[in-house]
Amino acid sequence: MNTRRFDPPADPARRRLLKTAGGATLLALPGAAALAQQREGVPVGPRSTFESLVPAAEIEAEAARGYHEMLAQARAQHRLAQPENVQLRRLVMISQRLRPFAAMWNERAIGWQWEVNLINSPQINAFCMPGGKIAFYWGILAKLQLSDDEVAMVMGHEMTHALREHGRAQIGKQVATQGTIALLAGLFGWSNASRQVAGVGGRLLSLKYSRDDETEADLIGLELAARAGYMPQAAISLWRKMEAASRGAPPAFLSDHPSNPDRLRTIAANIPRVQGLYARAPKPDVRFGPPLAG
């Protein structure tokens, strides 16, 4: 595990104290926020205010329930990769390199029970649910012939959706637009509400993210991967492969993560921001190749 000291988080509102070079603590004073903004990495704005309408612990618990139900179904169909599977070991190793940097973007990630699984399905898809529940489908590795660097970009992208709580914000937005907190009480069984939470985990699996969410996931995912020692330019080759795959039947991944003409330009413009992080990062000692195409 990489134990390098973390830079300050991108959002200075989340860090009320600044450290001096000698280790002394200074209260945030006028101008301190601007100082905290001068960080090495990608520029990212504040998180959505809608997420405050939904308790994070409840969302994470429901995500875990939905995730484990999905795994149980895959196991019953003999589609869940076993621990000795080389590609699963590959995914676990890459996740272990990225995870030490997760708390930079969400302090709750320190306590998450991270899980990584591989499902034997031809779908070109991957996701990370709230609470750090990661799944890759065989198709995204085999059909796109992803290198380790490209896998790291997919994983960093998906982890960002969880770290920046995009799913929680989406559900919070639904609560706000429906104009009632009673819906939320029903979903989570609060007070005397009798409605059950069944189905919330499934909804988290099928959420459609906004373009802003997608851009944020691209950029923070790029930084996470670079800090973990994976080549930033792989983000470009990854999305070119995605675009090539979409010329036939669009892959499942693109239905949840739509491409747009500005995506590659935005990623390319931000690669110089993380190049130094990558250059200084310890590189993986072990490299894996993609599985046989199919």
How confident is the prediction along the chain (294 residues), in pLDDT tens digits per residue?
433 333 433 433 333 323 323 333 333 333 334 434 457 899 887 666 556 567 778 888 888 999 999 999 999 999 999 999 999 999 999 999 999 999 999 999 999 999 999 999 999 999 999 999 999 999 999 999 999 999 999 999 999 999 998 877 677 666 555 555 555 555 555 443 223 333 445 555 556 677 888 999 999 999 999 999 999 999 999 999 998 888 755 555 665 565 667 889 999 999 999 999 999 999 999 999 999 865
Distance, in Å, from the CA atom of 28 to the CA atom of 36, rounded to the nearest integer, reads 10
160 closest CA partner among 239, 213, 107, 112: 213
Q: Catalytic site residues?
A: 158
User: What is the pLDDT at residue 185?
Assistant: 56
User: What is the pLDDT at residue 44?
Assistant: 84
71 closest CA partner among 83, 86, 81: 81
Give the dihedral of Cα atoms 72, 90, 247, 128; nearest 10 deg.
Answer: 50
Distance, in Å, from the CA atom of 290 to the CA atom of 288, rounded to the nearest integer, reads 7
Token pair 């399905």 is found at 121
User: What is the pLDDT at residue 283?
Assistant: 98
DSSP class of residue 81 equals P
